[in-house]
Amino acid sequence: MTEVFTRARRAASVSPGGTPENSPAFQRWVGVMEGYESRRDDREGGSAVPTGLIPRSPLNPALKRWAILFHPYGIKNPKSSGTGLRFAAAMALALFVISFSGKAAWFTNGASADAFVRALAPNSNYGGAGALSVAGPSAVNGSGVTNGVFDSFIRFNTGAMVTNFNALYGTNNWVITAAKLQVTEMGAPPNAVFNRGVGGFEIRWIVNDNWIEGTGTPNAPTTNGVAYKDETSLLNSQTDVSLGTFTNAGIDTTLSFQLTLPPAFIQDASAGGEVGLYWKAIDPRIGFTVDSRSFGTASALPYLEISALPAPGISSIELSGADVILSGTNGAAGGTYLVLDSPSSTSPLGQWVPIATNVLSASGPFTFVLTNSANGALGAQFFAIKAQ
């Protein structure tokens, strides 16, 4: 926050514009004065019936990803007395899925690498398999045999997505509003190495993308790629972040898991590089197998779908008696926007106080009228608008 907020020292008009920033977490600022190969491992094809498994988790406002989108600016009420009343305004990056329909642009990211790993074969690689799998220690295959723990790694390169959103909305002038992982489940995989069973599992975003896919298959494992023994060096509980917990269906179907949007994941996806995910069983009985990127049917492959909207902006801030009027741009119809207030620009955003909420009826420009919000006793006030 300290690198973003500065107190305005004189009145100025506002001209929306852009200034460069070295982090994709920061968007547009406004200121003043200034073809596939098929390898399915003997599995049969199945129908694809879409279904949605959608968890939600709360935002942690203390995290750095509360990016401020706009330079603050100040105005001085010419009718005020004493030291005068100064206001600063800023826009905060949306970290929740904005609930509106038909407005966001979606981009589908194909997997760039994936592999499952096995606890009972800690040195073996299966990166060339036609499947990914998650299994708990009590899961069994179709013959009732326990095959042990399975975890999976998968990466998506978001470079094409960033290029697309930049072309659509302007360079870095957009915010991610939703992310979904789509997979195609095989309810009864015929290869005996795979377990079966319905249960819970977790998807995590991981910091370390430095693993090799390899070429091993269930019938011909190799040692030229990621294996179960590598998990201790690849995973870090201090930096990796959960994107939610989910439950498989146990049948042949297409599943769409809506992921939460923690700051680190959003920043990584917005950077246009490799984004790594790790799947791990929660329920000891789960045996969840899906098609990998090596499988030949395009519609059955794993995809990371991400939506974005143009970044909202502040066009003006003014006083009307004791009321503060904030005008914004790039609002989304049906989107909920909050105004936060703080007497200090250096306070963590989690300590800012919500003072107004508005659900927009139309997209485009919007206005907040903050009734009796001008407090001359504070000397300076700072406001932020965020989408919820």
Please report the pLDDT score of residue 6 as a whole number: 22
Contact at 8 Å (CB) between 190 and 44? Answer: yes
Place of tokens 């030291």: 83
Tokens encoding 63: 């995290």
Backbone angles phi, psi at 57, to 5 degrees: -140, 155
> Distances in Å between the alpha carbon of 347 and those of 49, 76, 181, 186?
48, 22, 35, 50
Tokens encoding 98: 């904005």
pLDDT at 372 over 70: yes
Radius of gyration of the chain (CA): 25
> Distances in Å between the alpha carbon of 329 and those of 91, 100, 332, 345, 364?
11, 16, 9, 23, 6
| 3-state SS assignment for residue 197 | strand
How far apart are the C-alpha atoms of 202 and 270, rounded to whole Å? Answer: 22
pLDDT in tens, 42-83: 433 333 333 232 232 333 332 222 223 222 333 333 333 333
Tokens encoding 302: 């794993």
Strand order in the sheet with 380-387: 86-92, 380-387, 336-342, 353-359
State the average pLDDT over residues 246-259: 98
State the average pLDDT over residues 279-284: 98
Range from 45-59, 188-202, 311-325, 361-375 carrying the lowest mean pLDDT: 45-59
User: Which region holds residue 209: left if phi is over 0, alpha if psi is between -120 and 50, else beta?
Assistant: alpha
Helix, strand and coil content of the chain, in percent to the nearest 5, comes to 10, 40, 55
User: Which region holds residue 213: left if phi is over 0, alpha if psi is between -120 and 50, else beta?
Assistant: alpha
pLDDT in tens, 173-230: 888 889 999 999 999 998 999 999 999 999 999 999 999 999 999 999 999 999 999 9
Please report the pLDDT score of residue 270 as a whole number: 96
Contact at 8 Å (CB) between 218 and 119? Answer: no
Between 377 and 368, the more confident residue is: 368
How far apart are the C-alpha atoms of 174 and 24, rounded to whole Å? Answer: 10
Alpha helices, DSSP H, located in 291-343:
none
Please report the pLDDT score of residue 269 as a whole number: 97
Between 271 and 355, the more confident residue is: 271
Nearest to 277 by CA among 184, 200, 185, 180: 180
Domains present along the chain, CATH in parentheses: 70-93+311-387 (2.60.40), 105-310 (no CATH)
The two beta strands, 380-387 and 86-92, are: parallel
Mean pLDDT score across all residues of the chain: 75
